[in-house]
Structure 1
């Protein structure tokens, strides 16, 4: 018999794949964004342009938003103990922290907007405008004027980086929370840890920029997000070859290559996650991008491999689906093993 918290996580993962994030529903990340926006305005009013005060305010915002999110998750977990409706609410809330289907839908929408591959790979004509426009909804870089090859590279990079940020990192903390809650029912469980992670991730996406006041105000949230993604990111690199039919030595080799290629990236995780998928699929990622009109050069990942085509992006999405199943299967086997050992010792 599987522990109840793990069963709820399994149900949430299935719901995410079936339902995704309905646009008409209020998403918890939107609420977190409202908190962050309001606290930012108050912090900047108090701190002005003084770096010390801005850093202190950033720490306060991080503690408040992450703490409130974790507490809200813990309260929903408590409600799940009182009946079927509470469990349904918990499953829906858990599913909201996973972005497997929404990421896949976003990427597929851009792929579907691309014209057939008969055009030259760097063609920049108006026939690519629908793909550029839909790409702009899911990436932070400038998309105006991008050619077909650049669009496909952007898709491959977002499919790999956001697989870690949007799916595997929250899933990892859910599974940790399920294990903790299975041992201590009143402890923070899967939703509490997942929403704490989503709060840190939202802080990073809203405040984690090295410009103006955010240079100091967003530091605490960005560092916390880096810390919470660090281990899941490396576990993804280690386990990707397993869903390709390779063994653990291949996983260790891929992790080593991903760490080497990702090291020059300013983020301790983004380059590693992209490099892991790049080497797994054997395509070259990285290069020059534009953000707000400013050119930025990222390190090349899996240098010398072919540039990504549509099939490579599809393969990345398929690997993420398989890897999610593998992680859940490992969690189930670990829970069964722990239950068997506990019974044997009792």
Structure 2
């Protein structure tokens, strides 16, 4: 019975995120995780910035300690819920925790807002600054000198890449936790794996870069994120065409997306961007500014159209459809185990 209730909490948390998102009156786990990562990373950079070896192993400690603490907190709450036989307070914590691991509403809303501001507002100096500030919050590149077309592309690339990190990756690992706890309550569960993945994703977004100090400090964080996102990104690759109008081109689209996605240094972000690009018919990649350096990313879907608000709306619809498909698959698998 407890396992069934846990699965219902899991489904309820997905619905809550879709309808409400992250309540502003709660401290989000990412804020706590991010505070811890920043404090230790700043200490290492400020005191040992010239020592590559200390940065390298310090980054390992930052990554492992962040993940272990996140996992342990989730596991403690899960054990409390299971051993106290569906304890309401523990169940509520699991519900809130699982919902906070998913970012569907927040991600879609932020990108849609940017697209609407660009396409439906009269662009003047003040509006352009507002738009650039909103884009800068969701991307790591420098968009201060970007054109409106580039701002739309940046937002689209963030949407397609973060759909895995912020939605499908957490969903996958939380479901794995549901399955594992059917065999033993002491195995990793949905909250412990969900919070762990959120910690891994936050580590990568904060220090997992390939320039300056972060080349050493964030090495382990980036590699761990690559490993834990590997399967979810490929599941998105093979399932997204099933909820699109291009299902009759299934094999061709997957092949082209995989080949284009492999051009990226990251083993995952290129693939997730590529499958959305091919299905929505847009071109991604090209020049972007990071710090003071211009980086030329490989072109994805070279014959695609430029990014528009209409294309962003289509991608958002695809994300919601795919999430619904995954939930159906989860229910079917869970009923068979």
Displacement of 1:29: 0.9
User: Pick from 114, 118, 122: which aligns with 2:118?
Assistant: 114
2:157 maps to 1:157: yes
Q: What aligned pairs does 1:232-247 form with structure 2 within 5 A after superposition? A: 232-244=232-244
Q: Deviations over 1:7-53 (max 9, x none)?
A: 22111111111111133321111111122123224444675523223
2:229 maps to 1:229: yes
2:321 maps to: 322
2:13 maps to: 12
Displacement of 1:235: 0.6
For 1:260 and 1:124, how far apart are their aligned partners in 2? 40
Look up the SS of the partner of 2:182 in the other structure.
helix
For 2:195 and 2:208, how far apart are their aligned partners in 1? 18
Give the unaligned 5+ runs of structure 2.
none
Displacement of 1:245: 5.3
Conserved 8 A contact 1:238-1:254? no
Conserved 8 A contact 1:36-1:65? yes
2:290 maps to 1:291: yes
Conserved 8 A contact 2:112-2:309? no
Give the unaligned 5+ runs of structure 1.
339-346
1:309 maps to: 308
Displacement of 1:115: 3.9
2:280 maps to: 281
Displacement of 1:297: 0.8
Q: What aligned pairs does 1:135-154 form with structure 2 within 5 A after superposition? A: 135-154=135-154
Conserved 8 A contact 1:240-1:251? no
Tell me: CA distance 1:8–1:307, structure 2 relative to 1, closer, same or farther (3 Å): same
Displacement of 1:313: 0.5
1:333 maps to: 332
For 1:130 and 1:271, how far apart are their aligned partners in 2? 28
1:22 maps to: 23
2:96 maps to: 92
Tell me which stretches of 4 or more aligned residues in structure 1 moved more than 4 Å.
44-48, 123-127, 249-252
Tell me: CA distance 1:78–1:132, structure 2 relative to 1, closer, same or farther (3 Å): same
1:214 maps to: 214
1:342 maps to: none
Look up the SS of the partner of 2:294 in the other structure.
strand
Q: Deviations over 1:305-333 (max 9, x none)?
A: 11122111000001000101111110101
Q: What aligned pairs does 1:21-40 form with structure 2 within 5 A after superposition? A: 21-40=22-41
Instruction: Give the CA RMSD over aligned residues.
Output: 2.2
Tell me: CA distance 1:253–1:8, structure 2 relative to 1, closer, same or farther (3 Å): farther
- The alignment's TM-score, normalised by the length of structure 2, stands at 0.92
For 2:41 and 2:172, how far apart are their aligned partners in 1? 29
Q: Deviations over 1:272-320 (max 9, x none)?
A: 1111100011111111111223211111111111112211100000100
- The alignment's TM-score, normalised by the length of structure 1, stands at 0.89
Tell me: CA distance 1:124–1:268, structure 2 relative to 1, closer, same or farther (3 Å): farther
For 2:46 and 2:144, how far apart are their aligned partners in 1? 35
Tell me: CA distance 1:5–1:252, structure 2 relative to 1, closer, same or farther (3 Å): farther
For 1:186 and 1:50, how far apart are their aligned partners in 2? 40
Report the count of equivalent residues: 333
Look up the SS of the partner of 1:295 in the other structure.
strand
For 2:148 and 2:56, how far apart are their aligned partners in 1? 42
